[in-house]
Amino acid sequence: MAEDVYSYANVDKKNVVIETIKKAEEGEGTVIRLFERDNAKTTVKLLVDTKFTKAFTCDLLENEEEELKVEEAVNAYGKESEGS
């Protein structure tokens, strides 16, 4: 893979795949759907190249289930990500 390839989102585990990135059906949010391919309980970090303050797990109908921890970080492109 070329080193200068841009990716909007990345995960830190090889057994987790980003399946979908789309605008939420309602509101201003973005849905990033992840898939764990090995049927293994996994903790994963999702790195996203945009500023955001909240993240949630949701069901397939996009109903919010649980608020997730958002950490502030500087990504590989040198941009800051704000968290709460």
Banded model confidence at residue 70, pLDDT cuts 50, 70, 90? confident
DSSP β-bridge partners for residue 44? none
CA distances to 13, 25, 47, 83 from 3, rounded to whole Å, are: 19, 34, 17, 27
Banded model confidence at residue 14, pLDDT cuts 50, 70, 90? very high
Banded model confidence at residue 47, pLDDT cuts 50, 70, 90? confident
Q: What pLDDT is attached to residue 20? A: 92
Q: Quick check: helix, strand or coil at residue 16?
A: strand
Q: What pLDDT is attached to residue 77? A: 52
What residue has token string 């200068």?
4
80, 51 Cβ separation under 8 angstroms: yes
Alpha-carbon distance of 29 to 19, in angstroms, equals 17
pTM: 0.72
Q: What pLDDT is attached to residue 5? A: 78
